[in-house]
Structure 1
Amino acid sequence: MFSSSTMIKDYQSISCPATPTSIGKYLIERLQDYGIADIFGIPGDYVLSFYSLLEESDINVIGCTREDNAGFAADAYARVNGMGAVCVTYCVGGLSVCNSIAGAFAEKSPVVLLTGSPGYQERLNNPLLHHKVRDFRTQVDVFDKLCITGTELSDPATAFQEIDRVLEMAYRYKRPVYIDIPRDMVNVAPQTTHRHVFPPLPTDERALQEACNEITALLNQAEKPVIVAGVEIHRFDLQDALIHFAEKNNIPIASTLLGKSVVRENHPLYVGLYEGAIGREEVTEYVESSDCILMLGTFMTDLNLGIYTANLDPRKCISATSETLEIHHHHYKDVPLDELIPELILRNIKYCRRFIDPTVREPVSRYVIDYTAQISIRRMIDRLNQSLDDETIVIADIGDSLFASTRLQTQGRTEFLSPAYYTSMGFSIPATLGAQTAMPDHRVITICGDGAFQMTCLELSTIVRRGLSPIVIVLDNGGYGTERALHPGNWGYNEIHRWSYGELTRVIGGGISHRIQTEEDFDKALKAALADTTNMHLLHVEIDRRDASETLTRLADKMSSRV
């Protein structure tokens, strides 16, 4: 069950305002303190009073078409902004957002889930109130498994402390949190003041120094070191520190699939994505032949490890995350990643002379249009690579949208978003709403398969209503292309009904659609979309049902026998 026993914060002392304020208003103020300027969700009667306070505040309330979409939008917003929030009603809203929050937990995205609930006076004698499931705590119990912590704001005397505690847990641990607001508590103004100082997270200074000594010795002995950077480098805002460390010692950097774009992919020390046997052979060999592999902020997931085809010798690996530090077979406790990297920068580590052969890096696209050729996934990626800049965010849904996008060369940091560990289809369209809301000065290019698109595409309505201008590419092959590759055969369950996708812009009353069959069609549509920063553009790309990226082909070769 959720516990309030862990009190945290190392640099901030919070005191309640001198004049009484309501629980609802205090919660809004604290959300703003963490940089949350927009909230996604759908209202309902158990949360209407809180929604009214949100509308009256400086926070922008963004109504979505579905609760799970609101959760995905808040997740993407958090990945770009630092923290995000979604607000829904009791059970029918909260339980609908379970999948989105589960993905945020799995991939360390700090989303604040706010839900209304029946007032405590209403709960007397256990009445059958609408939206109730087994009992009044069903929703609380469910999110106990999906969030790092949570609270029910049931006691005015502790409500402010609980808000502080829960929000700080999200910030510290980069995981979703749950806040339940009974509707008869929203406007209650506690007649108490509090001043709560959060103690720092535990750090074992002796262990930190010993670990750094050991890492320094290993790097000084190594002739071919390499860094494999993971998603935690972004989540914990360690990108500058990582680059400083790598440049100071001239150590090459690879990234994982989930960590794609934590380092800008045109950096001279960047060698590419490490994906085991499903990745490019040149990168795989470069990483696996290293005599010291420094894995920083990396999740050891099946996709990150190429469906466990990675050949990483534990005797050559150093693995450091926010939770653990392992050097060969040594385990260190209470050595945070955000203290380890800065300490390593101070160490006297020899300058690496390892050469990065140009063939290791993804070849620079030399795309020349073949006007009448049918568009293919590979050629589409080649053309997109010509148009990416440091103000472009790429969002890829699950499937060959993701696998093909591994060849995209993002120009800026953290400009590639995808649920590459939890792999929930349907993420990309609502994520487009969240990412462009967080960074309106950037252009979002979203790549989504037709199967995933049909799951959550109605969020294009919200995108148009908000006046956003992403470029949404729908790969139409009439079904689940990845599953066709993984489990060959003429299986009806992998087929979907083919839509006239371009008609959606007419249905939702906004945006511009393009039907694409040839390379010339794609080139013209992309140029038109890039030139128009005021409208959403929907590019309906018709591809052969047998078309697949090289990465998906390698994945199918390694994985098809298991499914």
Structure 2
Amino acid sequence: MAQNLLTVGEYLAQRLQAINISNIFGVVGDYVLGLMDVLLANELKLIATCNELNAGYAADAHARLHGVSAVCITYNVGGLSLVNAVAGAYAELVPLIVISGAPSTVQQRQNLLLHHTAVDYNLQLEVFEKITVAATRITSAHQAARQIDQVIAACLRQRRPVYIEIPSDLVNQPCPIPATVDSPPNPMIDRQALAEAIEEAVELLENSQRPVILAGVELHRYGIANLLKCLLEQTGYPFATTLLGKSILSEMHPQFIGSYAGALSQDYVRQRVETSDCVLCLGALMSDINLGGYTAQLPEVKLINANSDKVKIKHHFYHPVSLPAFMAGLSNKLQRKNPELLDIKPAKDSLSVSFEVKSTEKLTNARFYQRINRFIWELETASVVIAETGDALIATIDLVLSSDTEYIGQALYTSIGYAVPACLGAAIASPSRRAIALIGDGAFQMTCQELSTIIRNELNPIIFLINNDGYSIERAIHEGSYNDIQPWKYHQLPGIFGYSWSCDVHTEGELEEALDKAKFYQDRLCFIEIHLDKYDCSRGVK
């Protein structure tokens, strides 16, 4: 073969490696077997999950830590099973490359009635067009490289999922290698609009007495948390994060006051943000969960709301405006304010409050999360905290995390069942940090089989299974028999899947013993079943 030719499968493998992808999550199937062989032959590792939905959740969490991830599945029965996870990744700005096998081009031209097909051969492509920023079907090996490059560039630029469909007979066809590789284009910027946005924002902030910064997820997804750090150093302003933006910077930062989510926030955090005379909101998604069920009080008259490509100040819109350029412009022009006049109560001070174990006392929700906050700090290694949708997500708002601890929670899409496979993805992405997952019993029953994959890959997360006899957050919204679930002996499951350690806990003393053993058993999955009362939930849910 000529040096300027690779097969379609080989070219895809090389492009994935070029953007630092070495692991692919997925489930095999006959339409993708040939492509899987090529990917594995090119030193990409398949993390084979128990089903496609879980592969998507795992790849989502992996991308949040690693920057981008890939999932590979078969046609329709695989791809359509994956849809929910990809929709969540789209909603929360997670760069995910979906790769699907498909019937051969000959079979498609003949319009054969094949297994795994439904409606027509465009069904899966059309579905993914709705939940990705770019979707393509390779129809010619000659054009394959350019199509692959364009889709990957869209993923990296817009930080959202993309979709590539490759018919089985094109995988090993030679394709010309383009002289240049498409790279993510620089964002469009209206320089005049940018200058006016900076000028108006600076005037409002300089004239304010109690400004505050509210930082959101886009700062993480676009890799610009360093600009927030510079802005804080320049201005001295206090800052809070949205739940989706939690752990953007170390929560030990002296200007970090806590996570803000309207009425779900701690009293001081809510009061400090909502009584500010100017709120500088950077990269936040104004969703119902981020705003505490829309209980947040952030009047437009005192809000500067900047997102990836636009800025809104009061009733003025500036577009297209780059968020990094806007933040850099503010840092260059704003003056430092006296911290003593800004009413800053660092969130880290809450860790100085002593925690006295009451060994014989029945464990409660509040006491459990207070203890877990300290336990995270006791670990010898850094960690990744994964909070399941439901009460665990709300309860972890008030955790205070160190500089080397990351937080993952689906705070916008909120798909129940996300956390177990997300724990898998996080542990693969960051093996030097121990994953700590907090999962409700109802959510666990949806995706628990990925415990098997965690054990298969010799990972060592600590999973806290919150057993409160059903869907507690749904009970808080509306009680009904549909919130009940079949009780399981959860702590016995890991032993069925393989090498692990597990126990169940009812009292504070038993929790202490379990935490000590989890710290000791660093070479395996540790699974701790926490028994709480049926209606015992977090302060925010109550």
* TM norm. shorter chain > 0.5: yes
Match of 2:342 in 1: 355
1:476 to 463, 467, 481: 467
Using a 3 Å threshold, how does the CA distance of structure 1 residues 309 and 192 change in structure 2: closer, same or farther? closer
Using a 3 Å threshold, how does the CA distance of structure 1 residues 105 and 197 change in structure 2: closer, same or farther? closer
Question: 1:505 aligned to 2:525?
Answer: no
TM-score w.r.t. the length of structure 2 is 0.96
Contact 2:149 2:182 in 1 (8 A): no
TM-score w.r.t. the length of structure 1 is 0.92
Give the gaps of 5 or more residues in structure 2. Answer: none
* Alignment map for 1:408-419 (pairs within 5 Å): 408-412=399-403, 415-419=406-410
- 3-state SS of paired residue (2:12): helix
Match of 1:287 in 2: 273
The number of residue pairs the alignment matches comes to 535
Contact 1:394 1:415 in 2 (8 A): yes
Contact 2:29 2:73 in 1 (8 A): yes
Match of 2:110 in 1: 125
2:518 to 526, 529, 535: 529
Distance in 1 between the 2:421 and 2:181 partners? Answer: 37
Contact 2:60 2:69 in 1 (8 A): yes
Distance in 2 between the 1:236 and 1:146 partners? Answer: 19
1:392 to 375, 380, 383: 383
* Alignment map for 1:18-33 (pairs within 5 Å): 18-33=3-18
Distance in 2 between the 1:192 and 1:251 partners? Answer: 51
- Report the alpha carbon displacement of residue 222 of structure 1 after superposing the two structures with TM: 1.0
1:456 to 420, 431, 447: 447
- Report the alpha carbon displacement of residue 329 of structure 1 after superposing the two structures with TM: 1.0
Question: 1:306 aligned to 2:292?
Answer: yes
Which stretch of structure 1 is more off in the superposition, 444-453 or 399-408?
A: 399-408
Contact 2:231 2:331 in 1 (8 A): yes
Question: 1:188 aligned to 2:179?
Answer: no
Match of 2:357 in 1: 369
Q: Deviations over 1:292-331 (max 9, x none)?
A: 1000000000111111111111011000111321011110
Match of 1:546 in 2: 535
Corresponding letter in the other structure for 1:74: A
2:427 to 436, 440, 454: 436
Which stretch of structure 1 is more off in the superposition, 58-67 or 410-419?
A: 410-419
Match of 1:56 in 2: 41
Distance in 2 between the 1:359 and 1:123 partners? Answer: 62
Match of 1:235 in 2: 221
Using a 3 Å threshold, how does the CA distance of structure 1 residues 191 and 407 change in structure 2: closer, same or farther? closer
Contact 1:260 1:414 in 2 (8 A): no
Match of 1:87 in 2: 72
* Alignment map for 1:146-157 (pairs within 5 Å): 146-157=131-142
Distance in 1 between the 2:54 and 2:462 partners? Answer: 18
- Report the alpha carbon displacement of residue 191 of structure 1 after superposing the two structures with TM: 4.1
Match of 1:383 in 2: 371
Corresponding letter in the other structure for 1:510: Y
- 3-state SS of paired residue (1:151): strand
Distance in 2 between the 1:367 and 1:104 partners? Answer: 38
- 3-state SS of paired residue (2:375): coil
Distance in 2 between the 1:437 and 1:195 partners? Answer: 32
Distance in 1 between the 2:348 and 2:402 partners? Answer: 14
Question: 1:222 aligned to 2:211?
Answer: no
Q: Show structure 1 runs of 4+ deviating over 4 A.
A: 196-199, 359-362
* Alignment map for 1:256-335 (pairs within 5 Å): 256-335=242-321
2:230 to 224, 232, 244: 244
Match of 1:4 in 2: none
Match of 1:174 in 2: 159
Q: Deviations over 1:268-294 (max 9, x none)?
A: 000111111222121111001111100
Q: Deviations over 1:175-221 (max 9, x none)?
A: 00001011111111124644355543211122212211211111111
Which stretch of structure 1 is more off in the superposition, 179-188 or 323-332?
A: 323-332
- Report the alpha carbon displacement of residue 238 of structure 1 after superposing the two structures with TM: 1.1
Q: Deviations over 1:390-449 (max 9, x none)?
A: 711100101111111112111126611010110000110000110110100001110000
Distance in 2 between the 1:97 and 1:209 partners? Answer: 43
Corresponding letter in the other structure for 1:355: L
Which stretch of structure 1 is more off in the superposition, 94-103 or 330-339?
A: 330-339
Which stretch of structure 1 is more off in the superposition, 204-213 or 111-120?
A: 204-213
Question: 1:342 aligned to 2:328?
Answer: yes
Give the gaps of 5 or more residues in structure 1. Answer: 1-16, 554-563
Corresponding letter in the other structure for 2:156: Y
Contact 1:150 1:166 in 2 (8 A): yes
Corresponding letter in the other structure for 2:530: V
* Alignment map for 1:65-76 (pairs within 5 Å): 65-76=50-61
Distance in 2 between the 1:497 and 1:196 partners? Answer: 53
Using a 3 Å threshold, how does the CA distance of structure 1 residues 37 and 352 change in structure 2: closer, same or farther? farther
Match of 2:241 in 1: 255
Distance in 2 between the 1:464 and 1:80 partners? Answer: 21
